[in-house]
Structures are given as structure tokens and as C-alpha cells.
Amino acid sequence: MFLFLFSGCFSALFAVVAELAVFSFLVPSGAGMDPWHLGLSSGLSTIGFVTFVFVAVIEESLKLIVLSRQAWQNRIGSPWTSSALFGLGFAATEIALASLTSGTGLIPFPPMVGMLVIHVLTSLLYGFAIPSGKNRAKIALVIGISTHLLYDVVLALV
């Protein structure tokens, strides 16, 4: 059980490292932008949207890969429990890292709940799609990336 929680935590840490690497190439040096504030008063900047696409692809692909590997090793008993715990670990790590880097302490409640919901739901989606075959897993990945991207864009515009 705790394997999935820890797998989610470590996957989130790896995703952050990958996101920072991508972000360092996308944002020009000295632009004064950070990954949590990519929106502009007039809407979402192009660089912000592109960064959100990369973030969604990295996070969702990584979740699918790790959950697929665990399913291949027959570690997934109940998709509900294992996938939800994985998503919870992923979200908890992302919330903790966002809070540590926010400069104001704990991030506001609505984004925190949003992170929790988006990561648990997409992890559940993958947990049920993986045993159904590669085609359903691919469709689930597209849905997961789209949902994550929509959440990020809405959060940036609010």
C-alpha cells in the first residue's frame, strides 16, 4: 500500500526536476517569470501556455509510466486504492514543493485542492486504463494531459 504513496512522491520529485530542466530552456534568462506565475493581466502568455503543455505532458506521462510498470510487476491489487494512493503521494509532494517555494508559506486552499483532485483523478484514470490495454492507456493519457492543461490554464487566468 505505502509503495504507491512513496512511488507517487518520488515520481513528483522526478517530474519537478524534468520540469525545471524544460523550464530553464523555455524562459529567456532574466525574464523574471516563474512557473507559478505565468499568466498576464491580459491573459496567458505564449511562453506560459507552452510551459503548461510541457508540464502536463511530463507529469501525466510519468504517472502513466510508473503505474504501468507497477501493473506489469503485478503490484496493483485494487486499482482504486493503489492509483488513489499514488495520486495522493504525487499531489502531496507537489503541494509541499509549491508551498516551500511560494515565499508565503502554505499555498492557498483552492489551488491545493485542485492539485489534489487533478492528480488523484488522473492517477485513477490510468489505474483503470492500464489493464485494458495500450490503446485505452493512450486515450487515458490524452485525456489526462488535456485535463491537467485545462486546470493549469484556468488557475493561471484566475
pLDDT per residue as tens digits for the range 117-127: 999 999 999 98
Structural domain for 44, as ranges: 2-25+40-157
Residue 3 has pLDDT above 50, yes or no: yes
- The answer to whether residue 58 sits within a structural domain is yes
Mean pLDDT for the chain overall: 83
pLDDT at 51: 79
- The answer to whether residue 45 sits within a structural domain is yes
Indicate the number of domains in the chain: 1
pLDDT at 26: 65
Average pLDDT over residues 54-61: 92
- The answer to whether residue 35 sits within a structural domain is no
pTM of the model: 0.85
- The answer to whether residue 152 sits within a structural domain is yes
- The answer to whether residue 102 sits within a structural domain is yes
pLDDT at 146: 96
DSSP string, the chain: -HHHHHHHHHHHHHHHHHHHHHHHHHSPTT----TT--EETTEE-HHHHHHHHHHHHHHHHHHHHHHHHHHHTT--S-HHHHHHHHHHHHHHHHHHHHHHHHSSSSPPHHHHHHHHHHHHHHHHHHHHHGGG-HHHHHHHHHHHHHHHHHHHHHHHH-
pLDDT per residue as tens digits for the range 14-47: 999 988 887 777 666 555 445 445 444 445 677 7
* Percent of the residues in the chain that have a pLDDT greater than 70, as a whole number: 84
- The answer to whether residue 112 sits within a structural domain is yes
Average pLDDT over residues 121-145: 92
- The answer to whether residue 33 sits within a structural domain is no
Average pLDDT over residues 123-147: 92
- The answer to whether residue 75 sits within a structural domain is yes
